Amino acid sequence: MRETIKAVLAARPGVADWLLVELRKSGSEIYLIGDQTDISRAVESLNYTLLVYVDSETSGQQSRGEARVTLHPTMSEEEVARAVDRAIFAASRSRNPWYGLPEGAPPLVALPPGGFEGRSPASWAAELRDAILDAADPSKGLAERPGAMKGALASAPRLNSLELFLTKRETRILSSRGVDVGFSSHEGYIEYVVEAEGEAGEVELFDDLRFSEPDFDRIGGEIEGALALVGERAHALPLPALAGLPLILGGKEAASVLAWFFDNADAGRMWLGSSPFALGASVHGDSARAGEYDPIELAAEAILRGHPASAPFDEEGVPLARHPLVQGGELRGLAGSSRYSSYLKLPVVGGYRLFSVGAGSLGLEAMRARPHLEVARFSDFNVDPDSGDFGGEIRLGWHFDGKRRVPISGGSVTGSLFENRGRLRMSSEIGLAGSMLGPRNILLPAVSITGAATGG
Amino acid sequence: MIVCPHSTFIEGVGPLLDGLVEGLGRYNDFVSVLAADDSGLSFRAARGETGVADSRWVQRGLVVRAQRGGKVAEAAVNLPEGPGSEALVARVARMLDELFVAGAKVHPPLPDEPARLEARGNVAIDPFETDPEMALGRLASFRDALLSAPDIVSAEAKADFVKVSRAYRSRSRALVQTFVWDQAYLFGVTRREDRAKVSYRSVSGLRGLESLDELEAQAPALASELAELLGAGRVEPGEYEVILSPAMAGTLAHEAFGHGVETDMFVKGRARARDYIGKAVASPMVTMYDGASGVEQTGSFLFDDEGNLGRRTTVIKDGILVSGFSDALSALALGIEATGNGRREAYDHKAYARMTNTYFAPGQSTLDEMIASTRAGWLLDRLNSGMEDPKNWGIQLIALVGREIRDGRFTGRIASPVMCSGYVPDVLRSITMLSRDFELGGSGACGKGHKEFVKVSEGGPYVKTRMRLG
């Protein structure tokens, strides 16, 4: 198929450049209800994404159009040719400022073996399932407690359901500019629901985890942590009406707030006018005062150990490495595709999916020392990349009034990163969450809190 | 109107599907195959650029479902195995053999009622046969109109057209369908100093490029709204009377008793609604439906991804919870009929019980009457997102535009964004008015949890109720 596509392209002189991404996937999926397999699935697929570039000149001004087309391995040569011709025609109808594609280059970093190599995804999936069920076994924790009762076992937090995916991904990237690179990785994903009995009935929490290594301690630890949290939700009180308290976030929610800085340090968003940042200016805003915030140190990362989005090349075949973007709170560089980097006359460093943020100044215990609201799980925590508005309905959190730390549920928080970026505090503890290696917790001082009504 | 032809792949795939059903049928009690060949175009005009790409919904492949000794497994492939079906049968048989593991659930026998049906949709202006320059030129003009307004720093106009072409085979069923759905957006970002706000307009349906006329008509209102939003504040946290626009109300229906009555959630014990069938869950004036038939929007189809025919399900009738909607496996587990709601993100994804077109039935009021009846509240519009909590009946909706109402009149005050939350039965029981309007919108996608996105639509009338805002 690859050769067919290349032959079709070679016969079409109107194509100024092309870029072909081949992705072969082989995966195994297990769907559990309780501890029983409800259904199992296997997936084997191969897909090709082709970009064709067509140049034109109007009044001495050179322009370039591109079109993307998906090619399937079951396509005949005639179908491929037709699809490519349609893409060429479509590309000829876009006349954007000209830019060049990156030349082929060797990798700057090596993707380390994840540990799933050598056995089939189905075999590993079965082992992962068993490990997760072991971590979720409600009798495990109780057995270690003296005087554990059978009744306690029946009402102990438990796994409601689990979806487990393990996929081997083989990527190859080729281009008319000499790019020909390939790499292989495994992507693991679990989505799970845990539940517990409370005074007002059963409650649940939903979570998910992406991983690239058979790190049973990490995966089991996530499940055990979720079971502990749902046990807290079972006894949580409705969030009271509160005002003037800072908000502490952790895990993926903290990562999604810090991702706002990463997402806006992007050449594409800068070119399109969406990014509020400027090179050389503070990402904390002009009014931020030294000492009132933790200056962000942010870098785009090719590889974060254990994260399945780790890759030695971006989608254009640009070799990736660690690339600092924000230093001392100041925007020093932009990541992004060759197109937008070229438009902004910046060096092409590639498009990144992962990032790191340096540790902040406060330990979590210090963050928690003053009255605050801390939220561990939302229904759906939302950070708008353009407006900087964030918020969500609370499923589990804690209110600390200076004396007591009480689990709470219901109600919501909202805020704006424009109002918080100049007073943002980050924890000194770091860890992997979302697409980030960075502070495990952040503190946002300017939020609006809506209490939960009683009832229900 | 132009009738949509089936894709070449779907036209020719029948013998391969028959070969798979027959060949794998020798080893399994039940075999079905879904073939999908969805093509699509995405036209886009953003600041300083235009472009054409395949839609993200493009796919071509097969998924085989097999039942053996009650256990159910699926194998999804898109790789060619040469002419004929023998090699593919052998490959899929190998994949399935590895999946029928000890200890897996024994399901009741999958039904296979006879049916042979074919459906083809139609469009006025075929996006796949029209010069892309036409769509790009129009989208660029919409974009430029937005960017010419003060303080709008970024604007994007986008239109997607997807031709869904699917075939389903089992021993007793042969189904084929092809239709086009569309969605188009105008999106703008406005920014002044340390304030930025966003808003949009969207259209959707089962149409071709003619949909751009509807989008164009909405551009001036979006520019005005973005200008207003720079002055937007926040709602003081508390409980208010709210009037939800049809899009917001549809999402309330979707999140409250859409996800909450997907019957695979019943099987997992994740939906409290299971215990409320036949009981009052909403104001007596509330009736709510979900269905792939009866309306023409992006959640419409002839048959679902498990070969069951789409229909309309009455979820709530006069405030009483009547029924959930089902995929095939949860219907089997619960001993109920499958309602044609078994849907997959793509051929290589699992089928779940999913919504299609979900909406409240209209009422008797006018919007003006609803506003006039509001003492202290907000009109909420421009849905940003929603999230369900079927076990604990919480709900989260985010509106990008809130307009304050005091003593029956708009005060001119605007808020953005507005976080709406509440306890689902309280919100639905507090509904006091529904307008005569009826609008459906299908420009978004619905996930199950945080994945498994499928096209749906939602809507209905304006709805007046009470919610917590912040």
Task: Tell me the shortest Cα–Cα distance from A101 to chain B, in angstroms.
Answer: 16
Structure confidence by residue, pLDDT tens digits, B202-261 = 999 999 999 999 999 999 999 999 999 999 999 999 999 999 999 999 999 999 899 999
> Beta A430-433 vs A61-71: how paired, if at all?
unpaired
Torsion on CA atoms B130, B135, B136, B137, rounded to nearest 10: 110
Residue A439 backbone phi and psi in degrees, to 5? -55, 135
**Phi, psi values for residue B367, rounded to 5°:** -60, -40
Backbone angles phi, psi at B260, to 5 degrees: -70, -15
B197, B152, B154, B229: which is closest to A266 by C-alpha? B154
| List of chain A residues whose C-beta atoms are within 8 Å of the C-beta of residue B197 | 387
What is the nearest CA distance from B460 to chain A, expressed in angstroms?
24
From chain A residues 192-211, the ones with a CB under 8 A of any chain B CB are 193, 195, 202-204, 206, 208
- CA B436 to chain A, closest CA, distance in angstroms equals 31
Contact check, Cβ <8 Å, A414/B470: yes
Cβ pair A437, A304 in contact under 8 A: yes
Please, which residues have CB within 8 angstroms of residue B426's CB and are 6 or more apart in sequence? A453, A455, A456, B466
Q: Is A45 an 8 Å CB contact of chain B?
A: yes
Structure token pair of residue A395: 């499923």
DSSP classification of residue A449: E
Q: Tell me the C-alpha to C-alpha distance, in Å, between residue A331 and each of A192, A267, A299, B294.
A: 38, 12, 11, 54
List CB contacts of B70: < 8 A, sequence separation 6 or more. Answer: B105, B106, B107, B108, B109
- Distance of alpha carbon A188 from alpha carbon A130, whole angstroms: 15
Rounded-to-integer distance, Cα B212 and Cα A140, Å: 60
Whether the CB-CB separation of B444 and B374 falls below 8 Å is answered with: no
State the amino acid at position A124 in one-letter form.
W
* C-beta atoms of B78 and A388 within 8 A: no
Q: How far apart are CA B220 and CA B442, in angstroms?
A: 22
By three-state DSSP, how is residue A113 classified?
Answer: coil
Residue B311 to residue B292: CA distance in whole angstroms: 6
pLDDT tens digit sequence for A7-57: 999 999 999 999 999 999 999 999 999 999 999 999 999 999 999 999 999
Phi, psi of A196, deg, nearest 5: -155, 155
Q: Is the peptide bond before B237 cis (omega within 30 degrees of 0)?
A: no
Q: Tens of pLDDT along A47-89?
A: 999 999 999 998 889 999 999 999 999 999 999 999 999 999 9
Contacts of A283 in chain B (CB under 8 A): none
Q: What is the CA radius of gyration of chain A?
A: 25
Whole-angstrom distance, CA of residue B462 vs CA of residue B467 = 15
**Residue A61 contacts B where some CB pair is shorter than 8 Å:** no
Provide, as residue numbers in chain A, all residues whose Cβ is less than 8 Å from the Cβ of B101.
37, 40, 126
- State yes or no: pLDDT of B283 exceeds 50: yes
Nearest of B240, B290, B259 to residue B405 by alpha carbon: B240
Instruction: Write out residues in chain A with pLDDT < 50, as ranges.
Output: 145-146, 148, 454-456
Q: Is A89 on the interface with B (CB under 8 A)?
A: yes
Nearest to B418 by CA among B462, B389, B463, B385: B385
**Largest Cα–Cα separation, chain B:** 74
Q: Distance (Å) from the C-alpha of residue B282 to the closest C-alpha of chain A?
A: 14
Which pairing describes strands B320-321 and A436-439: parallel, antiparallel, or unpaired? unpaired
Task: Tell if the CB–CB gap between B189 and A410 is shorter than 8 Å.
Answer: no
Q: What percent of chain B has pLDDT over 70?
A: 100
Alpha-carbon distances of A105 from A170, A299, B469, rounded to whole Å: 19, 22, 53
Q: Which two tokens stand for residue B160?
A: 């997607």
pLDDT score of A138: 77
pLDDT digits (tens, 9 = 90+) for B163-207: 999 999 999 999 999 999 999 999 999 999 889 999 999 999 999
CB atoms within 10 A of CB B379: 23
Give the 3-state DSSP-derived string for chain B, with helices as H, strands as E and coil as C: CEECCCCHHHHHCHHHHHHHHHHHHCCCCEEEEEEEEEEEEEEEEECCEEEEEECCCCEEEEEEEEEECCEEEEEEECCCCCCCCHHHHHHHHHHHHCCCCCCCCCCCCCCCCCEEEEEECEECCCCCCCCHHHHHHHHHHHHHHHHCCCCEEEEEEEEEEEEEEEEEEECCEEEEEEEEEEEEEEEEEEEECCEEEEEEEEEEECCCCCHHHHHHCCHHHHHHHHHHHCCCECCCCEEEEEEECHHHHHHHHHHHHCHHHEHHHHHCCCCHHHHHCCCECCCCCCCEEEECCCCCCCCCCCECCCCCECCEEEEEECCEECCCECCHHHHHHHCCCCCCCEECCCCCCCCEECCCEEEECCCCECHHHHHHCCCEEEEEEEEEEEEEECCCCEEEEEEEEEEEEECCEEEEEEECCEEEEEEHHHHHHCCCEEECCCEEECCCEEEECCEEEEECEEEECCEEEEEEEC
CA distance A219 to A128: 9
- Report the chain B residue with the minimal C-alpha distance to residue A69: B54
Residue A454, chain B, CB below 8 Å: the answer is: no
Are the CB atoms for B447 and B349 separated by under 8 Å? Answer: no
Query: What tens digit of pLDDT does each residue of B287-333 get?
Result: 999 999 999 999 999 999 999 999 999 999 999 999 999 999 999 99
Q: By C-alpha distance, which of B159, B221, B146 is closest to B189?
A: B146
| Spatial contact of A396 and A374, defined as CB atoms under 8 Å apart | no
Which residue of A2, A49, A72 to mutate against B (max B Cβ within 10 Å)? A72
Q: How far apart are CA B286 and CA B283, in angstroms?
A: 6
- A414 chain-B contacts, CB cut-off 8 A: 234, 417, 419, 470
pLDDT tens digits, one per residue of A263-295: 999 999 999 999 999 999 999 999 999 999 999
φ/ψ bin of B398: left (φ > 0), alpha (ψ from -120 to 50), beta (otherwise): beta
**Beta bridge partners of residue B242, listed in sequence order:** B378, B465
Residue B131 burial (CB count, 10 A):
11
Average pLDDT, chain B: 96
Please give the structure tokens belonging to residue B435: 């307008």
The class that CATH gives domain B2-229 is: alpha beta
Find chain B residues with C-beta within 8 A of A450's C-beta.
Answer: 237-238, 419, 421, 468-470
Token pair of A316, please?
A: 């254009």
Task: Residue A270: list chain B partners with CB under 8 A.
Answer: none
CA distance B245 to chain A (A): 20
**Closest residue to A39, CB basis, from B41, B329, B417:** B329
Question: Which pLDDT value is given to residue B83?
Answer: 74
In total, chain A counts a number of residues equal to 456
In DSSP notation, A170-222 reads: EEEEEETTS-EEEEEEEEEEEEEEEEEEETTEEEEEEEEEEESS--HHHHHHH
Q: What are phi and psi of B292, to 5 degrees?
A: -80, -15
Helix H or strand E encompassing A141: helix A138-143
Where exactly are the structural domains of chain A? 2-25+41-97, 121-236, 247-450
pLDDT, mean of residues B422-441: 96
**Overall residue count recorded for chain B in this entry:** 470
Which of B34, B344, B391 has the highest number of chain A CBs within 10 A, making it the mutation to test binding with A? Answer: B391
Predicted confidence at residue A456, as pLDDT, reads: 33
User: Cβ contacts (< 8 Å) between A40 and chain B: which residues?
Assistant: 73-74, 99-101, 104
Q: How far is A76 from chain B (nearest CA, A)?
A: 10
Residue A200: CB atoms within 10 A of its CB come to 12
Confidence check: pLDDT of B282 > 80 = yes
Which residues, 6+ apart, have CB-to-CB distance to B355 below 8 Å? B254, B258, B259, B262, B290, B299, B325, B341, B446, B456, B458
- Residues in chain A with CB shorter than 8 Å from the CB of B194 are 285, 287, 418-419
Q: Say what the pLDDT of residue B81 is.
A: 77
| Cβ of residue A43 closer than 8 Å to a chain B Cβ | yes
To the nearest 10°, report the CA torsion of A217, A222, A223, A228.
Answer: 120
pLDDT in tens, B117-154: 999 999 999 999 999 999 999 999 999 999 999 999 99
Query: ipTM of this model?
Result: 0.95
User: What's the half-sphere exposure (Cβ side, CA atoms, 13 Å) at A324?
Assistant: 10
- In the numeric block, the tokens 């199950």 are attached to B448
Question: What does the buried/exposed string (b/e) look like for B231-260 if buried means 16 or more CB atoms within 10 Å of the residue's CB?
Answer: ebebbebebbbbbbbbbbbbbbbbbbbbbb
Q: Where are the domains of chain B?
A: 2-229, 238-469
What is residue A384's DSSP assignment?
-
Report the alpha-carbon distance of residue A374 to residue A246 in Å, rounded: 8
Chain A interface mutation, best of B11, B28, B60, B416, highest count of A Cβ atoms under 10 Å: B60
Provide the sign of the torsion angle of the four alpha carbons A51, A57, A58, A63, taken in this order.
positive
User: pLDDT tens-digit profile of B97-109?
Assistant: 999 988 899 999 9
B61–A45 C-beta distance less than 8 A: yes
